[in-house]
Structure 1
């Protein structure tokens, strides 16, 4: 969430950033924020002035009574009563303006970093670099959903029977390969200095607001209404909320956490060829990395996180590319995002497997996540997160790119984790 200070002191820059993200009616919304903030401040000033007057009158009443000036004392009491009644109306007006201001601030996205390119969607993203192994498959190469059926690795139909489309059942070596990937990603994160967290898979509304998933304007979260809990769309939500209403010490930054979790997304509006097989699921597994840092170091942290994810896809021997997202394709809360895509050779398309983002102080302001600097003053932290990695499309690319006449070859880095070199 943007701060009032950001909006009032950097109005032109904020407006320009919102326009880069194609936020509708940006000027009107900012004007309303400033109007509501002025109402709140003016009302608060009037309340403070009235309170001072009430205190002065109340002190004077006792003196008037001692002096026998009963009529003057009664007049002062009446004046105090009038001011208190007026204050009730002022408090109501101030609370209404404060609540409306808060709700309006929740609707304003984060401002993009100056390096974010202009653009409306995925076609306008900028390829930063490419890497990994080239793949040369025969013309009759199978997509992963057919390979999964051929080698009895994943049962999509059984998932439909149990839960519905988008909830696959992994079997045998398919399940073992899932577990191998999870353990591989967690070990690599631990070796890079991340503390492993095992978080809850549901969060309360305060946590959803803290990281920006709520208000859920696109209806992508599963909501358990009886208990008012939300199934997590990513481990970013519970892990980052560990630091909600927390003041960290500067010497303890950056905080580095990683977590495995199942993730749940309604994926409302998704349909067509892009959702076949593992391409888009309602439930999937992911290892997430999260950092809490001080502002002047957060972009160094972002680069380290990008290098970490690049190391993972390299060890998996997958062709990949890194994209700098344009303003129109970024998430609501992000200031700068880099997507990783791996090439799916049988589908002949790129599949997104990770987003690494710096949210600057946007989430921290919602979370009230601060740190105490060397001068003992508290400042908002910067928060960052990244997928390291999401499993479904990684598994899809691994199956497709490594198919041979003998079976599906397993990358060397995964063999110690899954216990086999080939799926025959």
Structure 2
């Protein structure tokens, strides 16, 4: 025979499960209430029970062995109690047709007296009971039944506290999750900012919301340009063209980063980088020349690989100049780091009047690096406004400074001279 069920049984069970109290550990607050109920009512047994879909489970007990924890729902008198809204008093279970065959009556000694108060929440869900029992038929006084009602409200107060703690815990977890997501989003934004702007510029922008323009008395600018790019663009499928540019510029990025260069921008097939602006020192002309030599060697390798696979060859002209620049960030939506000044124009001129596959440097650069690098004078070449520039081809490291035949890998002598100048970026490799 099915056990009695409350009219709102589905919602009642949901409310009970939300408290996560069934099978929870003992708690002194509940234990003390059961002891007090037994003493006030003069009964040897008292307990707080919760009724789920299959069983009656005891959260606290007084006068019962510790191993008595649950019973089938259908056999529990408390199942009838939670179907009502008032105190259920059974003076003699054996004389009540509803319970005369209850397993409780069959115990030794048999339970004869039962009084239970349903634990009804403010939402109207009877989750369980506060009960007292005796092994002899009896009755309770008005004061005792009122005390049992008051104690049931204390149980409900404990349940409400538990519900709030669960809600608070959930809120804290949600807030922590939101904090972690916000931190992850902030980290992604900062990573994106650092990918768009040099790290010191990105940090300044993050700290103060703006970037102060800087005047640098000496910086070294590198321009690189792909020979015949316009014709290449006309003859190459778009996806392959982008892939070629990506391979080329990614290689330049990687080499430049190792030698302390900051990429300023790419303009179609042109590549611009600078050293000495964000970390000023005396090494930047040397660093840029080393980077340019490695770029030339790596692009030669890419060209050979491309020809082997049928791709169009990519050949670079590289120009380098050292001079004063102004640097800063422009724009407030798609911000860009940029540099300005006559030195930038001169570096571009070095590239524009260079030769494919070679590195063209200004007289200023040559003066800074001639003790370490092989330079081939080109003589004065006239630029705009009838201004002539002395130019030099940078062929490689001097033999006494190089540890390989193509003159782009420095040896220990070079490193000693480099460090004597004041640098420590390079080390044996």
TM-score by length of 2: 0.28
Larger Rg, first or second structure (1 or 2): 2
More strand per residue: 2
Question: Relative contact order (alpha carbons < 8 A, sep ≥ 6): 1 or 2 greater?
Answer: 1
TM-score by length of 1: 0.28
